[in-house]
Amino acid sequence: MRIGIVLVVLVAAGVSTYLGIETRKNRLVWDHFDVVKPDILYRSGQLNPDQLTEAVKRYGLRTLVNFQRPGPGVEAERALAKSLGIDFLNLPMTGDGFGQELQFREVLKACDDPDRRPVLVHCARGTCRTGASVALYRFERDGWTIADVANEMRRQSYRDGWLPGYVYQMIKNRQGFPLPDPAITLDRNLIPPVTPPTEKPSQEGTD
């Protein structure tokens, strides 16, 4: 009995180690891959070339978006996208996901264009940068609440909690009362400081 238990534990430990190593090397599963909206938007972490090729075939992807900074990895992916005949969009930003609004809006443009979608967005882990771009899609297109978007980001392992609020301020049509137009007016009623007149030397003639 004890030998059996030891064997079971050893086999379980061995299988777990093997699976762990394969996962770390990105060979076992597609890292953080998920369907945001079928035939429109997909998300993932960094996939290896075989996985990317398979994803393009399986989901008919037409645009590949990479949020990582330019480097050998990005160049290799650009070449792969070219060989596969799909668009490649590089939107480099820092790993914490705090990219610029115009970068995230490029993803929405691709999703809105029937000739450019389905779109796969990815960064290194598929959590922060990818999560922020998907968050903007959820806010702008699906109208989700900030709580639901934050829940979805948590599900994709984003635990810091800042990005949903950061992306929320980019939305064009936010829930709440509209700002009056004009939103800011300033009446300058302060008396401008009086500068003392400079005294000119007298030009009067002398006798």
Partner 1 sequence: MLADKTVATRPSLRLRADLPDLAATRADWPTRPMMIALAVGFVLFGAAGLELSPGEARVGMASGEGVGPFGRVFGYWDPSVWPLPVAFGQVWSYFEELGPTQNAVRWPAAIAGVLIGFILARRARLTIDRRAGVLVALAWFGSFALMDRSSVSGLDLIAGLGTVAALDRLLAKGSGWVVGLWASLAFLAAGWPPLAVLGLATVVLGRSGATWSWSTTCPVAVTVAAWSAWALSQARAEAWASALALPITQPSSWGLAIAAVCLGLPWTPFAILSTSRPLREGWSKESRGMILGWLKVLGATLIVGMMVPGLGSAALVPAMAGLAVVAASCWDRLLADAGELPATVGRRARRIALLIAGLWLILVLGWGGYVGFAIAYYRSTMIAVGLVSLAGFLMAIRASRLGEVRWALGAMVAVSVALKLAHWGYYVPESNYRTGAGPWGRAIGQWVPEKHPIHVLHAWPADLAFATNRPFRQLPAPHNIDFQPTKGSKFILLQDSEYAEYLNWSKGWPKLIKVAEFEDEMGLSKRILTRTDEPLIIERPFRKHDPVE
Residues in contact with partner 1 by CB under 8 A are: 1, 4-5, 8, 12, 15, 19-20, 23, 28-30, 32-33, 37-40, 138, 141-145, 147-148, 151-152, 154-157, 173, 175
Tokens for 41, please give them.
Answer: 């938007």
Q: Tokens 């992916």, residue?
A: 77
**Integer Cα distance of 51 and 84 in angstroms:** 13
Element (H, E) at 29: none
d(CA 88, CA 174): 30
Question: Closest CB to partner 1 among 9 and 79?
Answer: 9
Query: Which residue number, 38 or 71, has a Cβ lying nearer to partner 1?
Result: 38
Taking the complex as a whole, the smallest distance from the CB of residue 87 to partner 1 amounts, in Å, to 19
- State the number of CA atoms in the 13 A half-sphere of 155 facing the CB: 13
Rounded to a whole number of angstroms, the minimum distance from the CB of residue 130 to partner 1 is: 14
Q: What is the nearest approach in angstroms of partner 1 to the Cβ of residue 160?
A: 15
Q: Between residues 57 and 155, which has the closer beta carbon with respect to partner 1?
A: 155
- Closer residue to partner 1 (CB): 31 or 81: 31
* Pure H helices in 60-197: 72-84, 101-112, 129-137, 146-155, 163-168
CB 94 → partner 1: shortest distance, Å?
A: 21
Task: Please identify which residue in the block is written with the tokens 């959590």.
Answer: 127
In angstroms, what is the minimal distance from the CB of 6 to partner 1? Answer: 11
Residue closer to partner 1 (CB basis): 19 or 79 = 19
Residue 137 near residue 111, CB atoms below 8 Å: yes
Determine which helix (DSSP H) or strand (DSSP E) holds 31, and give its type and residue range: none
